[in-house]
Structure formats: structure tokens, C-alpha cells
Amino acid sequence: MKYFINSTADYHQHDLNSLGWELTVCNSLEPLNSPCRKALTSPYSFGKHLYNFLSKIIPFNDIRSVLEMGGGMGYLMRDFLTLNPKLRAKMIDISPYLLDKQKEMLQSLGVDFELADILTVSSNDLFCFDLAIMNENLGDLPTLVAEQIEENNSDQNTNNILGKLEHFNKKYNLPLGLNEKEHINIGAMEIVEKLCLAGIKYIYLSEHSCEAVVPEEMKPYLSFPSSGIPEMISLKGHKEFTIKFSYLQKIAKMLHYKTRRGAFADFLPLNLNDKVKTALRLTTSFNDEQEIVRQFFYDIYKYEYLILIKGDEK
């Protein structure tokens, strides 16, 4: 088995100077006049939709401290703190540019900030949080890319990789490395293990999923493969990989967490009006708004969320 580590750390630390190249669902719902808001049954921002959804699953009255990792522009946390001013929040981000944006967005809300790669933060610094959030960023964490050998891949590097795979295979009974063509979301698995071992009671994660499926009722409007194998997404200055959520779910279950998983469409209810249906049925969009709506619909079925709640199933 040979793997090359795909890391986005350098890009985020040194090159990133805009999120415009990477329009997250959270960002696409931000402008009040966004066509994406109009494509929903209620025209709210992403954070408001998510908070309303999570509050039916998580007892927010019991939550005091919340940690968001990789919070981009800070919109999601702004919404959470506006809806629940009792929350104490901390933001950790690897990007100095985006951490500054978060400071601007959240300046009046008493938030703590830390510039760090979340994978280097120790579990001891995480156990104090009641809720941890990672939205649309698991794919930024390192991926083991199958069948690519880098010339400078030292033996030590290979040993480290194989050691990690053996750890996950043994501890969580996973088949990592058996399919030699399958890329491995090693960073996403590490962060799930770290957050669960820190004992954080509630964890929310989301990302593009390689296991997402188009529901039957949406098939006239949307199609994408559900390969089950992390797929590469090429973006400005870096590459990301879709996430194999079933492995993350298995790790969390074995660490005694209950899990709930689904598509963004569960909390972003669509308004399938005639205008939207027309945009979705076209093979080529006639205007920018149609293109934005088509991308948005793809995203809300391609993105999955995973909610972890400490404590075994009863």
C-alpha cells in the first residue's frame, strides 16, 4: 500500500485570502437577497436553520460552552450566540485570515479565539466544552491518497501512516487499506476520535459525503453517484476529499456515542416552486441565479451532517 498525504494546512496558513472561491452552504445563505434563501421554505441564514434543528435534538439549556473549529467567516457562531446569548464560545482556526474575519464578526459577543491546527490541539484543552461544531470542513483535514507515491515520502513517513491505519483498524474494526484504490479520510477520523475521547457531550460535524444518495423524490431533478469512496474535489490552491461518514460513525459508536446522520436537506427545507423546478430541469443554466440554485440543491443533498451524543443507545 502506498499513500500520499494530501494536506491543506499550508494553503490555509499562508495562501488563503478569501472564502469566495469556496462557496460554502453557510456562506451562500448569508446575503439577505441570496437566491438560495428564496429556494427554502423559510428564508433564514444557515446558522439559524441549524440552531433550530439542533435545539430539537440537543438540550441547549444544559449547554454553556461551545467550540467551533474552522468557523470560516463566523456567521454560524454569530447566529448561535444571537439566538442563545448565554453560550460561551471559542473559535479555533488554522487560517490567520479567517480568524481575523471571525474576530470582526464576533467582536461584541465575548468570544475566545485561537490560531491553531485543530489536529495539534490536545484533548486536555477540549474536554471543557459541552458542544463542538465543525461545519463543512472535515474534507480540509489530511487525506491519505491511494496509489500516489511522492518522491520525498520517507520510510518514516510510510511507517507513521501504516501505524495510524493499524491503530484505526484494530481499535475500531475498520478495513482501512484493504481496497488499495480507496483514499482514506485520516484527519477526519483522528478528529472524531479526539473529540470523543475528550468526552465532549454533543458534537456536530458536516461535509460533502461520498456516501450521500439522492432521495427517490428528488431524482427527476438531481443526480450524482454515491461511490462510497472519498472523491477528490479540486479547489483554488488546494484539494479536498469527500468524507466516508460510515467510518466516522463507527468510531463514535465504539467510543460510546449515539449517532444521528442525514443530509442538509433535513434542516434546510426546500421550496420546490416552478422557478426552482425550471432551474433544476435545465441541462445548462440560462443565468447566474439558475446556476446558483442548481449548485445549492446539489450541495444540500451531497452534504451530510453527523451528530454525536455521548452515551450508548438504551
User: Which residues of the chain form contacts with ligand SAM (CB under 6 A)?
Assistant: 8, 12, 22, 24, 26-27, 69-72, 92-95, 98, 117-119, 135-137, 140-141
Shortest reach from residue 82's CB to ligand SAM, in Å: 17
Measure Cα distances from 200 to 79, 173, 248 in Å: 21, 23, 16
Shortest reach from residue 305's CB to ligand SAM, in Å: 11
* Closer residue to ligand SAM (CB): 79 or 177: 79
| 86-92 long-range contacts, CB within 8 A, separation 24+ | 87/63, 88/64, 89/65, 90/65, 90/66, 90/114, 90/129, 91/67, 92/67, 92/68, 92/116, 92/118, 92/121
Are 188 and 243 spatial neighbours (Cβ–Cβ below 8 Å)? yes
Shortest reach from residue 257's CB to ligand SAM, in Å: 21
* Closer residue to ligand SAM (CB): 191 or 196: 191
Are 27 and 75 spatial neighbours (Cβ–Cβ below 8 Å)? yes
Burial class of residue 118 (count of CB atoms within 10 Å of its CB; 0-12, 13-18, 19+): buried
* Closer residue to ligand SAM (CB): 26 or 293: 26
Shortest reach from residue 222's CB to ligand SAM, in Å: 21
Shortest reach from residue 183's CB to ligand SAM, in Å: 17
* Closer residue to ligand SAM (CB): 120 or 173: 120
Shortest reach from residue 46's CB to ligand SAM, in Å: 7
**Rg over CA atoms, the chain:** 19
Cα–Cα distance for residue pair 108/150, rounded to 1 Å: 47
* Closer residue to ligand SAM (CB): 117 or 304: 117
Shortest reach from residue 131's CB to ligand SAM, in Å: 15
* Closer residue to ligand SAM (CB): 80 or 221: 80
**Among 182, 178, 147, 174, residue whose Cα is nearest residue 3:** 147
Shortest reach from residue 180's CB to ligand SAM, in Å: 27
* Closer residue to ligand SAM (CB): 45 or 137: 137
* Closer residue to ligand SAM (CB): 135 or 209: 135
**Among 185, 98, 106, residue whose Cα is nearest residue 146:** 185
Half-sphere exposure of 241 (CA within 13 A, CB side): 25
Shortest reach from residue 179's CB to ligand SAM, in Å: 26
* Closer residue to ligand SAM (CB): 141 or 186: 141
134: alpha, beta or left? (left if phi > 0; alpha if psi -120 to 50): beta
The angle at the Cα of 183, spanning 142 to 160, to the nearest 5 degrees, equals 55
**Measured torsion, CA atoms of residues 122, 184, 8, 308, in degrees rounded to the nearest 10:** -50
Cα–Cα distance for residue pair 127/59, rounded to 1 Å: 18
Burial class of residue 251 (count of CB atoms within 10 Å of its CB; 0-12, 13-18, 19+): buried
